[in-house]
Amino acid sequence: MTETDRYAVLTRVGPGTPMGKYMRYFWHPVAASVEVRDDPVRVKLLGEELVLFRTPDGKLGLVQERCPHRGASLSCGMIEEGAIRCAYHGWKFDLDGKCVDTPAERPESKLKDRVAIPAYEAMELGGLVWAWLGKKPAALLPRFEYLVGEQYDHDMTISTMPCNWLQIAENNMDPHHVEYLHMMYTNYVFKRQGKPLLPMKHHAKVDFDLFEHGIMKRRLWEGDSEESEEWRVGHPQLWPGTLLVTYPNGVLQAQIRVPRDDGNTTIYWYNARPRPAGQAPRKEVPVAENPFLGPDGKFLNENLNGQDMMVMLTQGVIVDRSLENLGESDKGVVMYRRVLLEQIERIERGEEPMGVVRDPAENTPFIPLPVETHVDYDLQGVDAAPGERWDRMATKAAE
Ligand code: FES
Ligand SMILES: [Fe+2]
């Protein structure tokens, strides 16, 4: 296989592709819980166009969007007890995708017995709806501490990015970009705006370690001791492409990258905020849009997440990796690509990839993850506290 072929393997996620098969060993979020209320929601995951809905008794349905009769979208359908009914001619599908009613046909018609649509398992955890598009039986949905830890309140923003998932995930296997994109470039922007500059830091070294749920990324800043948490502990890139990172205000942020198809990715910027003592737990997990363009159509280039989105998108829809010139500082990216290809080889040998959770004992009460608890520089990656926009979204969701 040529280098170019290998990259094609890593970026294509549709059904039947090697990476598509790998991705189907993991649960992926398809919506925030608050987005799934009275109406069906169109979602796209791993190249499959689907409809997500909540039945009156609270069950979740996730089925192919297209009605197999004459193609109307079930996103316009009528939700019923344990089923969804197409708006066009009333065909009804249960949560397993089986057609159970074709009301325009004669009662003795056997047509419905021959018809079914793909239907998938969906479940909620941490204010997200997660889907399993893989083979059954489904693996356990990992109960990572950042999702279920009782010490946290959660909120999230969502970005829909018109580019391939891999270049987004590779960003985190590239610690050096923090020094340039998030420090040097920020200061370039701040200087032009007459704002005070950030202190610069320099990487002394970086390293990466494989563990069951992903790859630990560690960095040592010049002048720090090897006892610094960023070197001793670091933070993980979880399979298949979720970053977990701590911010100076104590917020733990999971950046969950979900491939919608080969050229589009949804990022859930999922925040776990330590709840102040004596404060009641928040009942819902609010959600807001995380934009990458300002009203003037320019990239939002002043904060960490906006800067990352700027460079990921301008790399192209799918990075042409045959044109790259990699250096020593790209060793994390190289490792990540190699390890992903090894996971695909495992599947081809009939084994499961790393990080698939099948043992309930491992998943109970939660799976702890190594992550540094302290970083001493503030790159404005997450709001200091949930502000007005969350309240606005919560109000909207409750309407
Ligand atoms: S197109 Fe759905 S019932 Fe006819
Ligand atoms: Fe970044």
Taking the C-alpha atoms of 31, 318, 379 and 395 in order, what is their torsion angle to the nearest 10 degrees?
-20
| Helix segments in 31-173, DSSP class H | 145-148, 165-170
Q: Which ligand is nearest to the CA of 102?
A: 1
State in Å: Cα 67 to ligand 1 middle.
6
Take residue 149 and report the two structure tokens written for it: 């830890």
Amino acid 349: pLDDT: 98
Q: Tell me the CA–centroid distance for residue 272 and ligand 2, in Å.
A: 19
Nearest residue (by CA) to ligand 1, atom 1, is 70
What pLDDT, on a 0 to 100 scale, did the predictor assign at position 380? 64
Per-residue pLDDT of the chain (399 residues; tens, 9 = 90+): 777 788 889 999 999 999 999 999 999 999 999 999 999 999 999 999 999 999 999 999 999 999 999 999 999 999 999 999 999 999 999 999 999 999 999 999 999 999 999 999 999 999 999 999 999 999 999 999 999 999 999 999 999 999 999 999 999 999 999 999 999 999 999 999 999 998 899 999 999 999 999 999 999 999 999 999 999 999 999 999 999 999 877 889 999 999 999 999 999 999 999 999 999 999 899 999 888 888 899 999 888 889 999 999 999 999 999 999 999 999 999 999 999 999 999 999 999 999 999 999 999 999 999 999 877 766 666 665 555 555 544 444 444
For 290, the enclosing helix (H) or strand (E) is: none
| Nearest Cα residue to atom 4 of ligand 1 | 89
Q: Which CATH architecture has domain 31-132?
A: 3-layer Sandwich (2.102)
Q: Whose C-alpha lies nearest to ligand 1, atom 3?
A: 89
For residue 91, which atom of ligand 1 is closest to its CA?
3
Can you give the pLDDT at residue 127?
Answer: 97
Identify which of 75, 81, 29, 80 has the alpha carbon closest to the alpha carbon of residue 52: 75
Question: How many other C-beta atoms lie within 10 A of the C-beta of residue 378?
Answer: 13
Count, residues in the chain? 399
Residues forming a β-bridge with 62: 52
Strands 152-161 and 264-274: antiparallel
CA of 187 to the centre of ligand 2 (A): 15
Looking at the CA of residue 70, tell me the nearest atom of ligand 1: 1
Centre of ligand 1 from the C-alpha of residue 85, in Å: 9
Q: How far apart are CA 247 and CA 78, in angstroms?
A: 43
145-398: CATH architecture = Alpha-Beta Complex (3.90)
Domain boundaries defined on the chain: 31-132, 145-398
Alpha helices in the chain (DSSP H): 3-11, 18-23, 145-148, 165-170, 176-179, 185-193, 229-232, 304-314, 331-348, 388-398
Q: Which atom of ligand 1 is the closest one to the Cα of 86?
A: 2
Ligand nearest to C-alpha 101: 1
- Please name the residues in contact with 277: beta carbons below 8 A apart, sequence gap of 6 or more: none
Distance 168 CA to ligand 2 centre (A): 10
Q: Inter-axis angle of helices 3-11 and 331-348, to 10 degrees? A: 80
Q: Which residues line ligand 1 (CB under 6 A)?
A: 67, 69-72, 86, 88-91
